[in-house]
Structure 1
Amino acid sequence: MSVAPQSVGRRERNKQHKLDRITAAAAELFAEHGVDEVTTQQIADKADIGTGTLFLYAKTKGELLLLVQNSSYADALAKGRTAAEAIPDIFDAVMAIIRPVVECNRKQIDNGRTYLREIVFGDPEEPQHRDALGLSVRTEAAIVDVLMRDPRLEHRNAATLAHIVSAIMFLSMAATINISKSVDEILAEISEQIYLLLPIGGTRRSAH
């Protein structure tokens, strides 16, 4: 017997509703207490589901953090891309993409650093890790789009530069030495490195 389309649609809506509840519960608890101080049982209780159901959506607390942070990262990247489109200067446009990503990552410092660690060391085949890696790729693509405004750059070189810019951003956010630094201080550190890296920097050094 075939399954009625209405039943399939209702089942998918129920799954999405549970996922939304899990994400909201994890986001609130992680923001209030930090990922290390929250248990999966607390998240399940707050989402009003059983732990068995919770593990159907995320098998570990790390995956739950990825679920939460990926959503915030995606919003931050969209904000940065929109801001960059309105900024003609290439260097400033690249920094416009980076700023909301850094702000997002530093809302809860321990959570942000754990998120970066999960991206680097997690299983790339696991859906939440795969989505996080995809966001990194999309970040580099956004930077490439900005760099390609410079007619001197070939796409291959722009892609290499974007990859280095992404590495600078991630290392600055993850570095233990930067734990106590503010968003603006981290952005200043990133800015100095990118300014020297990008070929357009040489045309603007007299202004710095």
Structure 2
Amino acid sequence: MAVASQPLGRRERNKQAKLERITAAAGELFAQHGVDDVTTQQIADAADIGTGTLFLYARTKGELLLLVQNAHYAAALERGQADAAAATTALDGVMALVAPIAECNRVQVDNGRTYLREMVFGDPGEPHHAEALSIVAQTEEAVADVLTTRAQVPAVEAATLARVVSAVLLLELGASVNAASSLPDLLASIRTQVAAILPR
């Protein structure tokens, strides 16, 4: 017999409401001004909370960016997985999978690059950072799955190649030299590099 979930108590409802206000305020301010030009005080004011309360939910501005962006990246991964399901070749499948992630990263270029930097160099013990790393791991698993199903690559080799694809994606999206590159140009470069590592 299924057990009904208990309704949230007042304290938990208040915490959830504050988290939602913080996420909405930070997301709006980051989208309008870029993460570098927004202060934690502005986010706290927009969320109608004190800065001390804000830091209970995210200790740094980088963590706030991870909080905001993780949901977008998770949704992009879902879209990529759906698109990859229709691909007939391993290369097309990998590109279908990573294209929405690259597009998500380029919505606001500086925010996208900062997100990647926080993900790589941030504190993995922070919950929003851990969630970002989990999305990367899920992406790598999805790439490995494409390689095993479309190109019959053995699982261990597919996992290694998926990590290389992940590194290519990170470098192409995060590199300063690519800050002004268009999304089609980035995807073309990623495709060329992925094609070079896939089994023939």
TM-score norm. by structure 2 comes to 0.93
Task: Tell me the secondary structure at the aligned position of residue 123 of structure 2.
Answer: coil
| 1:19 correspondence with 2:13 | no
Counterpart of 2:192 in 1: which secondary structure?
A: helix
User: Which structure: larger Rg?
Assistant: 1
- 1:145-172, CA deviations, whole angstroms, 9 ceiling, x for partnerless residues? 1111146421000000000000000000
Within 5 Å, give how 1:1-208 maps onto structure 2. Answer: 8-150=8-150, 152-199=152-199, 202=200
**What per-residue deviation string (whole Å, max 9, x for no partner) do you get for residues 116-164 of structure 1?**
1111111111111111111110100010111111464210000000000
SS in 2 for 1:148: helix
After superposition, the C-alpha distances for 1:52-109 in whole angstroms (9 at most, x for unaligned) are 1111101110100110111111111111111111222221111011001001111111
- Among all aligned residue pairs of Structure 1 and Structure 2, give the percentage whose two residues are the same amino acid: 59
- Structure 1 stretches of 5 or more lacking a match? 203-208
- Counterparts of 2:135 and 2:171 in 1: how far apart (Å)? 16
What is the TM-score normalised by the length of structure 1? Answer: 0.90
Counterpart CA distance in 2 for 1:75 and 1:150 is 23
Task: Tell me if the contact between 2:94 and 2:146 (Cα under 8 Å) persists in the aligned partners.
Answer: yes
SS in structure 2 at match of 1:123: coil
User: Residue type of the partner of 1:68?
Assistant: V
Alpha-carbon RMSD across the aligned residues, in angstroms, is 1.3
Q: Residue 151 and residue 168 in structure 1: after superposition, are their counterparts in 2 closer, same or farther (change >3 A)?
A: closer
Cα distance in structure 2, aligned partners of 1:152 and 1:187: 24
Aligned length: 195
The structural deviation recorded for 1:11 is 2.2
